[in-house]
Amino acid sequence: MIIDRILQLIKYKGINKRKFYIETGLSNGFLDKVRDIGVSKIEHILNVYPEISAEWLLLGRGNMLLKPVGFEEESQIGNNIIQEPNPVYNKTPLKKVPLYDIQDSAGIVSLFKNSTQDPIDYISIPGLPKCDGAIYVNSDSMYPILKSGDIIMYKKVKTNTDNIFWGEMYLVSLTTDNLEEFVLLKKVQKSDKGEDWVQLVSENPQHQTKDVLFKNIKNLALIKATVRINATH
């Protein structure tokens, strides 16, 4: 089953399920709750781990790796016979995530449309999943999970319900009836109004839950990691 091969992938990477969830953006406990994984989730996993063979992951055919590194040619990865790779290949350079100093919604909208803005710094964290950028939180809508001044690191995703991990936090770029565009930091849930709607949920109970038409969402970015600085001295 695909689940079994994903568990084999996790073992090969030398990580635990929690780190796998962080790297892929899948919700905690996902592998324990489902037995049938959608195509969009498979595509997302393959995007995070491009060295993994899609044929192996989907059908169990061939080798796990597209280009095995540090393995003998005779090893049969697809048959659970795995040899340890040369330790030198375990050294992955730290990813540098650009940090942007943007204080208002209009600035974030501009960032969605224009990736050439100059960052004020870069953030490097071991084991960090792929991110497009980082910005400071400037609202209390997700308090106490996030507070003003925290840093969120995001990955832009296609604006399609198949790409949404329901219940996760997103930067949501919306347009109003007068074509004004703004960005909210919310959890995205399914709406009781139907498939054409989504529900934007705050962690702070003082912020009301809101249902919006999905067609009014112009851009989405999944929150992959957060940073909180408790002291500056």
Looking at the structure, do residues 139 and 52 belong to the same domain, yes or no?
Answer: no
Tens digits of per-residue pLDDT, 21-43?
Answer: 888 888 777 777 766 677 778 88
Report how far apart, in Å, the C-alpha atoms of 41 and of each of 44, 46, 102, 133 are: 5, 9, 31, 22
Of 7 and 180, more confident: 7
pLDDT digits (tens, 9 = 90+) for 128-142: 889 999 999 988 999
- Per-residue model confidence (pLDDT) at position 76: 46
Domain with residue 220: its CATH number is 2.10.109.10
In this prediction the pTM is: 0.58
Phi/psi zone of residue 31: left (φ > 0), alpha (ψ -120 to 50 degrees), beta?
alpha
Statement: residue 170 has pLDDT above 90: yes
pLDDT at 208 over 50: yes
Same domain? 19 vs 118: no
How many domains is the chain partitioned into structurally? 2
Rounded distance, CA 210 to CA 140, Å? 16
What band does 115 get if pLDDT is binned at 50, 70 and 90? low
| Predicted pLDDT of residue 86 | 52
Q: Which residues form the domain of 195?
A: 96-227
